[in-house]
Structures are given as C-alpha cells and as structure tokens.
Structure 1
Amino acid sequence: MNEKAASLTVAICTFKRPESLARLLGALWEQAYLVSSSIEIMIVDNDPNASACGLVNGIKPPVPWKLRYFVEPAPGVSYARNRCLRESNTDFIVFIDDDEIPQPDWLVSLLETQVATDAGIVCGPVIPRFESPPPNWMRKGKFFERKRFTSGTKITFKDSRSGNVLIRRDTIALAGREFDTRYGTSGAEDTLFFKRAEESGVTIFWSDKAIVYEDIPADRMKLKWLARRAFKGGQNWVRILAESNSSIWLPMAFNGIASASFSLIFIVPSLIISHIIAARLVIRFAGGLGKATAWFAARKIRNQLPVSHYIG
C-alpha cells in the first residue's frame, strides 16, 4: 500500500507497565508494508515519577520510526490522552493500549480502511489473550470477547473503543478537541469522545484485519473484576446519555433498580442450571446498580473529590 506520505502518530498511554510496554514496542517495529516517511511513536507516561523513562531511553527505534516520550503528571487516562493530542501534529493519531500487541499488518489495515471509506475514525478488533488458563465458565461464556464486523462496515460510537483506533486530525476539533477529564479515573472518556464526534457528522468505520491482542492477567479472570467493570460501565453509560438529556437520571435509575432486582432473584437458582448464566446475572446485577447510582458518581466528580489513576 502507498499511503502517499501520510504522517502517523502511534500514541501509547502507560502507567507502571514496563514489561508489557516493552513487548508492545517490539511488536510495533515489526509493522509491515508501511512506506510513510513520517511515523512516530509517542509514549505518554502517566506516572509522575517517570517509571517508563529508563525503558524508553534504552530503545533505539528502527528507520523510519521516531520515538518521543512525555510525562503527564495529572492522574487519569483523559489527561494522558489529551497530552497525546496536544503533542502530535500528524495527519492521523492511532491509539493502542500498553497491554496490547498488534499484528504485523495492523497499521496498514487501519490506513487501508480509512482510505477506502474516508472515515474520520477507524476502529479494529481487540482479541483477548489470557496469560494463564481462565476458568471454564469464563472461557465458554466469552466474557472478554467483543463484537466484530466486516471490514468497511459503518459503526456507531457504541461499538468504538480507544484501545485500537485511528483518528483523522480534523476529527479532534469536531469531537470537542479533547477527552473529557471528568472521566479520567472512571473510564469511558473515549465513548464520550466518539459520541461527540459522531454527533458532529464524523463517520466511524470498522477494520476487521487491524487486529491487536490484549493480555488478560490472572487478577482480571474473576467474577468480581467483571462485576466491577459492569458497575462502572452502568454508571458511565448513564452519565454519557445525560450529557445531552439531563432528564434521564431518574428513569435510568429506576431502570437500573429493576434490572438489578430481576437479576438478584435468579442468581442463586441459575447456579443449578449453569455457572455461565449465573455469572451473566451477577454482571447484569452490577450494571443495574451502576445505572441506579450514576447520579451520585457524577455528583462526586462535580464536587471535585480526589482522583486516582484509572487502569483499564
């Protein structure tokens, strides 16, 4: 493929994950079929102690790659992503998480889809890769697998994620110029960014060949972790919807209570039938509680309570 000298920034936000960051950088050097003369890797370290500095200083990227490193001391993934936006000036910025590994044709696949569709945003699949064998119910239930589409399919913000995404430069302004820092420690800052972009007329397309693998550590292979993710997801979803409809808080709270109550009733009986069904009900229960308590979460943010790092 000839990208006609399109300039690229591959942006990596990292926080105390040196081993996985090193693996990611090694995989990036193996990207194939790229002829652009302007390709840079940007690492934004969200650790104020610059814990990734030693690793980065010891790396000499191969031609044509360039490597840039910044420390963003403000805690929260939104601040780290915004630093990436401010420091880059290329035609495209591509986000990948520091615990992911791309296939060799990852970047070129994102670019091919962008050229074919003229998309403002291109997303690709993130496939789980377990560091140790997961419980049978988790593997069979596919709790870490996400929806996929045929390459070139137009998708909505609901199926967009920042762990594997290409963003055209002009899209940033249309999406509000930054990731909302109110979501810096809860996650979902990317969902709101993509929602704002879509509402401004930006098109989002899928590139199914642009595959990255996400390492799933043992401490995530637990129902407790999945429930916590669902709880945050429920809160964040209502907060995002309330951005454009402030009257939604109470109906969504009742919806969450109803969903949680229904799930709670059937969790124990479902254990007789299937651990997978029981796990799904626990996750639904947690998501319902999240929706029911979303207003309180938003209020804490408005009152500017102390924040901490979000590690997705």
Structure 2
Amino acid sequence: MPRVTIMIPTQRRPDGLSVAARSVLGQTGVDFAALELVIVDNDQVPSAKPVADDLAKTSPFPVIYVHEKRPGVAFARNAGMARASGDFIAFLDDDEEAPAGWLAALLAAQVRYDADVVFGPVKTCAPDHIVAHRDYLERFFSREGPAEPGILDHYYGCGDSLIRRAALPDPVAPFAVERNHIGGEDDMLFGHMKAAGARFAWEPAAWVWEEPVPSRMNLRYTIARAFAYGQGPTSHCAAATPRDTLGVARWMVIGLGQAAAFGLLAGFKWLTRAKDRAEWLDRAARGLGKTLWWGPFKIHFYGRTA
C-alpha cells in the first residue's frame, strides 16, 4: 500500500472535525502503518488543537496538527500539503463522515483505473426541522454521479477525493491563493490537471455523509453559492494562460440566455408555488454567475476571521 495522507481542513468547527476525524480512525481494509492524518486549523487562534491532541492519544497512525493563521481555503489546503508526506492525498471536509470502507474503496479504484484523482459520492440528509425546499437542499449539498464506477470526463470538488501527488502541477502548494475567499481553488486545480491529461475516476462505493453547517441550510446561502458556481467556467477561461477571451465571451452569452430563460420560469414557478421552484431559481443564479463573474461580483465564502 502506498503512503496516504488524509487531510481535513477546518475552521472553528470542533464538533464536526471530531466526527470527521474519528471516522478516519475507524477505517478498515487499509494498512495503518501507511497512513497519517493532517488536520489544518485555519483559525486565528489554535481552536482545533484540543481536538487534534485528543485524537492523537488513541489514533493508530500519526495525527499531524497544522495551524495556518492566514485566512483562506487555499492557504489552508497548501499548508496541509506542505506537511503531508503521502504519495496520495485523501481529502475529507470537516462536515463529512466517512464509512469504514471509504478509503479502501478510493484506493482500490485508483489502482483499477490508474487514476490521478478518484471522486466519490456525498450524501446529505437535512435535519428534521427543515421543511421548506427540503429535497432541493439535500440535493444541493449532495454529490451524485454515475451508478457504476469508471473513468470520468469531468471533475468534482476536493471533498471526498483521492489525489495522486505526482500528478499535481505543484506537489507542495497546488491551490491558487487568488481563490482563498471565493472558493473554486479545487476546480481551478482539477481544470489545469485535466488540460495536462490527468485521468479522473468515479467510485460509488467511496461515499461519505455530509452534515452542512445549519446556517447554510437555506436559500439565501445556496442561491448565492449557485451564483458563485456559475462563475466557475468563465473565470477559468479568464485565468487561462494565454487568456481564453473567446471562451469568456461564449460563457457570458450562454449565461445571459440561461439567466433570462430560467429566471422567467423560476418567477412563474414561484407565483404558482411549485414544489421545484428553488431548482429553477438555482439554475437562473448559475446562469447569471457565468455573465457576472469578475471582481465586484465575487462573493467571499471563506477566510472570515470573526
């Protein structure tokens, strides 16, 4: 078994971190001698250290605590990469919980497909008190994919993924710091890897539970996030070297059409109180994001210090 680093970035979420990390300690079908857990604390004060210290007392493999004071998701991930010793990096978010066979399934898929990155599903179950738009919210925070394992022609986000370190453009600091506050640093990385010929795979057996922060389980957060997701393809073209000006223009025009069409449909659905009205508002927001993608329209989701 190759050496594997399991990395959990976190910021002021000790309960979620504890659940995520303890699920890592309960993995089966893997060689613990080849594992390490890296916890990256992206708080100004070392608020996650007590959790990491407690875990280290009973962990069957090393628990490495990294304190990255500079706020930002890319800073946090890069700080963890600088301390990681694994040939492969498995990412788990601090609001996720992995079943016992999660890591073994990721590693088996990597070998089977000789993949540079393996992704798995994310399953979300909304709390009982969430009634309005429950189905939409569960789908929004979930990651669905093919029913069968296999090679992918696209990519997903970092949470619940296994990355071959040798395939990274920079094995120590691969995440773009300009995405520190708006997110999408993983999309940018995987986009560069795809352009370089990286091989992506999907493994349905490598699924995790996600329990989103309660303050995010509402349309105010998800529609803003959908708008930010929509900005992704246009921003990626703008950040290309050389700049893909034609791609930027193409995505802006597509986005404008989507925002208009889906926006009108969302308005009708809202007037009729249709059950799926949030879905269409989400699509309209993603379209608008493709068109309004530059500086003043960027929304900061990460890097808050208070």
TM normalised by structure 2 equals 0.89
- Matching of residue 121 in structure 1 with residue 121 in structure 2: no
Match of 2:210 among 204, 207, 214: 214
Q: 2: CA distance between counterparts of 1:143 and 1:104? A: 25
The structural deviation recorded for 1:61 is 4.7
Count the aligned residue pairs: 301
Q: 2: CA distance between counterparts of 1:208 and 1:295? A: 35
The structural deviation recorded for 1:57 is 2.0
Shift in alpha-carbon separation, 1:55–1:271, aligned structure 2, 3 A: same
* RMSD of aligned residue pairs (Cα, Å): 2.6
Contact 2:147–2:204 (CA<8 Å) still a contact in 1? yes
What are the superposed Cα offsets for residues 25-79 of structure 1, whole Å, 9 maximum, x if unpaired? 2211111121241211001111121111122223335453110001112211111
The structural deviation recorded for 1:276 is 3.4
Shift in alpha-carbon separation, 1:50–1:156, aligned structure 2, 3 A: farther
What are the superposed Cα offsets for residues 245-302 of structure 1, whole Å, 9 maximum, x if unpaired? 133333433332332222332333223555333212211222222122113358x79x
Report the more deviating stretch, 13-22 or 222-231: 222-231
Task: Identify the residue that residue 24 of structure 1 maps to in structure 2.
Answer: 20
Give the letter for the 2:197 counterpart.
G
Contact 1:17–1:98 (CA<8 Å) still a contact in 2? yes
Match of 1:180 among 176, 181, 184: 176
The structural deviation recorded for 1:178 is 0.8
Corresponding residue SS for 2:46: coil
Corresponding residue SS for 2:211: strand
1:130-279 matches, within 5 Å, as 130-135=126-131, 137-139=133-135, 142-157=139-154, 159-173=155-169, 178-244=174-240, 245-271=244-270, 273=272, 275-279=274-278
Task: Identify the residue that residue 105 of structure 1 maps to in structure 2.
Answer: 101
Contact 1:249–1:295 (CA<8 Å) still a contact in 2? no
The structural deviation recorded for 1:175 is 8.2
Give the letter for the 2:211 counterpart.
D
Task: Identify the residue that residue 77 of structure 1 maps to in structure 2.
Answer: 73
Residue ranges of structure 1 left out of the alignment (5+ in a row): none
Match of 1:11 among 7, 12, 16: 7
- Matching of residue 64 in structure 1 with residue 63 in structure 2: no
Contact 2:96–2:208 (CA<8 Å) still a contact in 1? yes
Task: Identify the residue that residue 284 of structure 1 maps to in structure 2.
Answer: 283
Contact 1:257–1:288 (CA<8 Å) still a contact in 2? yes
Corresponding residue SS for 2:134: helix
Identical positions, percent: 28
Residue ranges of structure 2 left out of the alignment (5+ in a row): none
Contact 2:27–2:99 (CA<8 Å) still a contact in 1? yes
Shift in alpha-carbon separation, 1:144–1:56, aligned structure 2, 3 A: closer
Task: Identify the residue that residue 46 of structure 1 maps to in structure 2.
Answer: 42
Corresponding residue SS for 1:187: coil
Q: 2: CA distance between counterparts of 1:310 and 1:202? A: 33
Give the letter for the 1:148 counterpart.
G
